[in-house]
Structure 1
Amino acid sequence: MSISIRPIDANDHGAINALHRFVGWPERSQAGWTWLENNPARLETRAAAGWLLETPEGEPAGFTGNFVQRFHQGDAIHYAATGFSIIVTPRARGSSRKLLNTFTAQPGMFAHYTFNANPTSAPLYKRHGMVAWPQGTNDLKLSWRVDTLACAEGRVWREIDRRAPRLTQARHERLLNSRLHEPHRLELPAGVAVLTDLSDRSRFADFWQALKGEGRLVADRSPAILRWRLADPDLTLRPLLLTFNRGKAIGGYAMAMMSKGNPIEPPMLEIIDLVALEGEQDAIPTLIRALLANARSLGAAKLRIQTISPDLLRRLGPLADSAHHEGGWGHCHVKFAACAPGAAIWSPTPFDGDYGFCLRPVPVAAGMRKAA
């Protein structure tokens, strides 16, 4: 059977959601897909928003999304693409190569990558010129338990699902808690504050200029891009943004959001971004401790970060040793273009990948959506 491939358009959202439903992954609303397609970096590069596999009868049989990001290295601007939600149905078995070849062949990108491969799909990327990267940390995820009972209940439900899946197929949401939507008074250490001002002339804008000025290869974290990220209409709870401050200047920041992987898992507080200026050695450990101190009161069972670079691991120090080391397979793979600015100056976080919009949001009542 001949399987064809083409770029997606706005008429494909229903079919794409059906493919997500087929594999049990979170679906997006029509507004959510439109928001994602209006990614400023994608519009600048005129890249496809993704590709759809079709049978000769026109039946959708596979999909991959294409998330383009703008990167800065001093005054230079580069672009790279993340492949997300790579799905192939049994009717198109073997056609993943069409999706990955099309994704990695798109021009104008210094890198094509995924930081979110599961154990089943991870071996596929090596066949398409992608390598496990960063070296030494591509298979590492870190998590800190903050609610031992909820974690234990989650393990019990996973075992029930393994032994008797019929008991969990009703998809009833379990392990939710009232803390998820209660007003919170955060307990923050000296020097850490909630980031609320993302205007173009804010202290965060100054931090972004300083971060760019260090010469590292960094994904765009300008106030405008963060405003766009936070406008995702499918978010149910507003992400938490914290800054590490040295006087009036911001020296580092963290972004964390609540997720719930499936109906039988407890909520997690996921670190989406964690970055600091080179001279601020205390920033990252202090921000992690602030998140740890508040994760349980926010309703989380764990605090977790799913993309680790060697530099971030070093800056975490003893906090990395106190974490549970998850992963164990190469979930981060990349293919660098010949003109790539260099892997040595890129220290990715989950922000660089697809976690910010592919994690399953915590189901909450409509009136609680995007609660602060």
Structure 2
Amino acid sequence: MPTLREIAESNYPAVQALHRSVGWPERSLAGWRWLHANPARLEIGAPAGWIIDGPDGEPAAHVGNLIQRFRLGDRRLHGATGFSIIVTRAARGGSRSMLKTFTRQPVVFARYTFNANSKSQPLYVRHGMQSWPEQTHALKLSWVIDPLPLLAGRVWKRLYDLTPGVVEGLGERLMNDRLGRAVRLDLPEGVEVLTDFSDGSSYAAFWEALVAEGRLLADRSPEAQRWRLQDPDLTQAPLALAVRRGGAIVAYAQAMMAKSNILEPPVLEIIDLEALKDHPDAVPALMRALKSAARTMGAAKLRLQTVTPEAMQRLGEFARTARREGGWGHCHVQFAQDAPDPALWSPTPYDGDYAICLRPIPFNTVRQGARAPRGAAQTASKA
């Protein structure tokens, strides 16, 4: 049986090579070091992940362990989400020991993934994780902005299935001249771009108001937001929007431009969408702003990849008009025995690994005329 060990910072060049060997997007070494220095992980001394070495002594399997802080009123908790699970033939059977170790780690109130792909999702159930939320664990929502690039992406995918080497050699497809430009957004009245995440900002007051409602929340404090914005692999800062009423922020959204692989068009991915309970109508206002921004920024569609029953209610008409994507159980969780009531938790993609696993728009690759690595046409979702 292959031996599992905790990942060390010195292993990241080999982990980077492992990602490259299976055609997955590569983090820079600076990006891996940034993840390794995650303040929430260091607080509880949790591993940054685990690897299994192959016969040649190099990592042949990997799973990342993203630790997040949570708040429940005055209580501070931690949760763990697994990401970038790779198991090569040299470590066949290693997924069992990796998931067993991940789901048995102490201190955290929940071990979960909100980003499982269709092939790997049965593994999580076999390792004691439940499909959750029960009503929406297999649901993703999207809103079409420009249907032509979406159709073209399907054509390119079919061509790839016939001649993968030829298609990969062409490099990035379906880029457009709106990507990465400094644009002026046409936002609905009452919605503004949010840029101030300082400790004394209006956003900080909004965060404290959210915490006071008594829900279980992933840490959205200004400190946590600033750490996320320091990700060295971001090619474009996430878009943050806020709804302000009476001088105070009552709702906010965060979205990231991403391109899953060389053959799919850019998508504006909703990372977070939150509102104070007394202002549920602020969510549709943010959605109108996000749809408008997606068009201006060059996205073919707007997508929300983690959905809960509460989110469906807040989305209102947007939930009824959305396309249903997914169709498999991509959300799985295992709660600790002393975990808070799961009903207090209504996660968004922010709570999962999307902000660190989505493939940013590859501006440098296109500008330098570089070719995509072999296998890069494969969807970049983690296992």
Provide TM-score, normalisation by structure 2: 0.94
Moved over 4 A (4+): none
1:140-163 deviations in Å (ceiling 9; x for gaps):
000111011111111111111123
1:287-323 deviations in Å (ceiling 9; x for gaps):
0110101202101001001000110011111111111
User: In the alignment, which residue of structure 2 is the partner of 1:116?
Assistant: 115
Query: Per the alignment, in what secondary structure is the counterpart of residue 181 of structure 1?
Result: coil
Query: Per the alignment, in what secondary structure is the counterpart of residue 243 of structure 1?
Result: strand
Query: Per the alignment, in what secondary structure is the counterpart of residue 14 of structure 2?
Result: helix
Query: Per the alignment, in what secondary structure is the counterpart of residue 296 of structure 2?
Result: coil
Query: Per the alignment, in what secondary structure is the counterpart of residue 137 of structure 1?
Result: coil
CA distance in 1, matches of 2:324, 2:19: 28
Question: RMSD in angstroms over aligned alpha carbons?
Answer: 1.4
**Residue identity (%):** 57
CA distance in 2, matches of 1:166, 1:56: 29
Alignment coverage as a number of residue pairs: 367
CA distance in 2, matches of 1:156, 1:56: 40
Query: Per the alignment, in what secondary structure is the counterpart of residue 179 of structure 2?
Result: helix
Aligned-pair distance for 1:167?
2.6
| Deviation larger for 246-255 or 205-214 | 246-255
User: In the alignment, which residue of structure 1 is the partner of 2:54?
Assistant: 55
CA distance in 2, matches of 1:195, 1:323: 26
CA distance in 2, matches of 1:21, 1:116: 20
CA distance in 1, matches of 2:350, 2:159: 33
Given that 1:171 and 1:263 are in contact with CA atoms closer than 8 Å, whether structure 2 keeps it comes out as no
Return closer, same or farther for 1:212/1:151 CA change in 2, 3 Å cut-off: same
Query: Per the alignment, in what secondary structure is the counterpart of residue 363 of structure 2?
Result: coil
User: In the alignment, which residue of structure 2 is the partner of 1:149?
Assistant: 148
User: In the alignment, which residue of structure 2 is the partner of 1:288?
Assistant: 287
Aligned-pair distance for 1:57?
4.2
User: In the alignment, which residue of structure 2 is the partner of 1:217?
Assistant: 216
| 1:186-265 to 2 correspondences below 5 Å | 186-265=185-264
Tell me the amino acid that sits aligned with residue 44 of structure 1.
E
CA distance in 1, matches of 2:55, 2:17: 18
1:163-199 deviations in Å (ceiling 9; x for gaps):
3223312160010111012221101111100001111
Given that 2:16 and 2:29 are in contact with CA atoms closer than 8 Å, whether structure 1 keeps it comes out as no
Return closer, same or farther for 1:322/1:149 CA change in 2, 3 Å cut-off: same
| 1:30-109 to 2 correspondences below 5 Å | 30-109=29-108
- Gaps in structure 2 of 5+ consecutive residues: 368-383
User: In the alignment, which residue of structure 2 is the partner of 1:158?
Assistant: 157
CA distance in 2, matches of 1:110, 1:137: 21
Query: Per the alignment, in what secondary structure is the counterpart of residue 159 of structure 2?
Result: helix
Tell me the amino acid that sits aligned with residue 69 of structure 1.
Q
| Deviation larger for 95-104 or 47-56 | 47-56
Aligned-pair distance for 1:215?
0.3
CA distance in 2, matches of 1:162, 1:321: 34
| 1:305-324 to 2 correspondences below 5 Å | 305-324=304-323
Given that 2:77 and 2:109 are in contact with CA atoms closer than 8 Å, whether structure 1 keeps it comes out as yes
Query: Per the alignment, in what secondary structure is the counterpart of residue 307 of structure 1?
Result: coil
User: In the alignment, which residue of structure 2 is the partner of 1:301?
Assistant: 300
User: In the alignment, which residue of structure 1 is the partner of 2:379?
Assistant: none
- Gaps in structure 1 of 5+ consecutive residues: none
2:337 counterpart of 1:343: no
1:11-54 deviations in Å (ceiling 9; x for gaps):
11111112212222211111101111111100101110000011
Given that 1:239 and 1:256 are in contact with CA atoms closer than 8 Å, whether structure 2 keeps it comes out as yes
Tell me the amino acid that sits aligned with residue 98 of structure 2.
L
Return closer, same or farther for 1:293/1:122 CA change in 2, 3 Å cut-off: same
CA distance in 2, matches of 1:366, 1:328: 32
1:96-133 deviations in Å (ceiling 9; x for gaps):
01100111111100000000000000000011100100
Given that 1:160 and 1:167 are in contact with CA atoms closer than 8 Å, whether structure 2 keeps it comes out as no
1:81-103 deviations in Å (ceiling 9; x for gaps):
00000110012222201100111
CA distance in 2, matches of 1:96, 1:171: 34
Provide TM-score, normalisation by structure 1: 0.96
Given that 2:235 and 2:361 are in contact with CA atoms closer than 8 Å, whether structure 1 keeps it comes out as yes
CA distance in 1, matches of 2:297, 2:92: 42
CA distance in 2, matches of 1:237, 1:366: 14
Given that 2:273 and 2:348 are in contact with CA atoms closer than 8 Å, whether structure 1 keeps it comes out as yes
CA distance in 2, matches of 1:231, 1:55: 33
CA distance in 2, matches of 1:8, 1:183: 39
